[in-house]
């Protein structure tokens, strides 16, 4: 059983440790990754995330195991009152992958999103070659709606979308 809670400044060391555990995967899929990523970088990201949350334009959650250890991060960015849309992003520490945790984390995050009256759609950008990430979106009823060209890593960037209150969601 996993839980989500808003990211906190006290998570910086755990985030940095999860990055170290996941270097190969993050290097491949996350444009923000760099080999020198450390607790200071994690703290700076958390501070920026908390500012975004205070502004109401995003929120980041720690994905926690049943013993409250950090397994990854999931969140919403670009939350817009005008469009009713938000982008979901996520990553798990490598030891947590392959156990259904990503699917569960997205489902819990979507529960949060559905409770936000201003949100109607959630979207994601995923590299075509990132099959595990695509599978967890599809397991949560996201639909492939198109492509956005080639991303920073040279992969085709696929666009997925979910209508939060549709009968199919």
Q: What is residue 168's predicted lDDT score, i.e. its pLDDT?
A: 55
Residue 166 CA to residue 49 CA, distance in Å, equals 29
In contact, 65 and 90? CB cutoff 8 Å: no
> What count of other Cβ atoms lies within 10 Å of the Cβ of residue 165?
9
Q: Which residue segments constitute the domains of the chain, with CATH numbers given?
A: 3-163 (3.40.630.30)
Per-residue pLDDT tens for 12-42? 999 999 988 878 787 776 776 678 888 999 9
Residue 19 CA to residue 66 CA, distance in Å, equals 20
In contact, 146 and 159? CB cutoff 8 Å: yes
In contact, 127 and 137? CB cutoff 8 Å: no
pLDDT digits (tens), the chain, 169 positions: 899 999 999 999 999 999 888 787 877 767 766 788 889 999 999 999 999 999 999 999 999 999 999 999 999 999 999 999 999 999 999 899 899 999 999 999 999 999 999 999 999 999 998 899 999 999 999 999 999 888 777 888 899 999 998 755 5
Name, in order, each residue with C-beta under 8 angstroms of 169's C-beta and a sequence gap of 6 or more: 110, 141, 162, 163
Alpha carbons within 13 A on the beta-carbon side of 143: 8
| Buried-exposed string 65-75: b where 16+ CB fall within 10 A, e elsewhere | eeeeebbbbbb
């Amino acid at each position: 059983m996993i839980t989500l809670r808003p990211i906190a400044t006290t998570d910086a060391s755990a985030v940095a440790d999860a990055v170290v555990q996941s270097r190969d995967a993050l290097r491949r899929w996350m444009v923000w990754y760099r080999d020198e990523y450390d607790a200071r970088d994690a703290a700076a990201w958390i501070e920026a995330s908390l500012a975004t949350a205070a502004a109401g334009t995003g929120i980041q959650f720690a994905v926690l195991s049943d013993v409250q250890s950090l397994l990854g991060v999931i969140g919403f960015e670009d939350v817009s009152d005008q469009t009713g849309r938000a982008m979901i992003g996520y990553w798990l520490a490598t030891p947590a992958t392959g156990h259904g945790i990503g699917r569960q984390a997205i489902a819990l995050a979507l529960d949060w999103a559905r409770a936000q009256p201003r949100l109607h759609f959630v979207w994601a950008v995923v590299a075509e070659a990132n099959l595990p990430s695509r599978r967890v979106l599809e397991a949560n009823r996201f639909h492939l709606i198109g492509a956005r060209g080639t991303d920073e890593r040279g992969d085709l960037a696929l666009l997925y979308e979910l209508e939060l209150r549709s009968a199919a969601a």
